[in-house]
Amino acid sequence: MDKKESRIKWEGKGLHKPLQSFSVFEPNGQLLYDDMYAFIAYLQKERNCSIATSGCKIISIRQFWKYLKIKAHLIENNIVEELKVLKQAKRIFNLEDYIRLLMSVEDSLRNYCSVYLNLNCTLHLVELTNLNVDQISAQSVTMIGKSDKKRQIYLTPAAKNAVNVWLIERNNYHPHDNALFSSNRGVRLTTRAIQIVIKNS
């Protein structure tokens, strides 16, 4: 570490207590704005922390300094008030990702069908979870939007096959309602459940 980075001591306590992951030992008791960015650089370069992990620590630091100033009245200036949370670069979803995602869910007819409709019919997760069986026809899906406005989304042969195969398997889930996608307990699948499937794929 360089001179500025040496003011920060890493103790590696874990994400559940981010504020314990560093301590300041500046001889004169002052902490500079640049020191915080030096600490962030240290997390990423030396500790190989992800942007998400570093972001959690930044938020914790900002909240702690806010407490020191507003609640505890121990400091006059909040030097980390403008400390920015790092943003993760957007990743382009390419053909390799597309194939990998579909292959990862092919063992579950429900997950495969929901992911396939999400990718190929540009259906949002909330639209997928709100879909009912009676909205599916031989050639299309009828989406119902605000003010009961309807729009037709035509299914490709592969999409129709994924839906038809899933509809047969769906009976084994003993669905409690008309939801197209049901959980193992027979209730309507949530957007969070689909998010987890995609995240773990």
Q: Domain extents for the chain?
A: 5-71, 95-199
Q: Who contacts 14 (Cβ-Cβ below 8 Å, separation ≥6)?
A: 21
Between CA 82 and CA 68 the distance in angstroms is: 15
Q: What is the pLDDT along the chain (201 residues), one digit of tens a residue?
A: 444 443 434 344 443 445 455 554 444 455 666 777 777 778 777 778 777 777 777 777 788 878 888 888 888 877 777 777 666 666 666 777 777 888 888 889 999 999 999 888 878 888 889 999 999 988 888 887 777 788 888 888 888 999 999 999 998 988 889 999 999 888 999 999 988 888 887
CA Rg value for the chain: 25
Between CA 169 and CA 164 the distance in angstroms is: 9
Helices and strands (DSSP H and E) totals, the chain: 7, 4
pLDDT at site 11: 42
pLDDT at site 123: 83
Q: Which residues, listed in sequence order, are joined to residue 141 by a DSSP beta bridge?
A: 136, 153
Q: What is the DSSP letter of 61?
A: H
Q: Which two tokens stand for residue 41?
A: 């650089």
Cα end-to-end span (Å), the chain: 37
CATH code of 95-199, in short, is 1.10.443.10
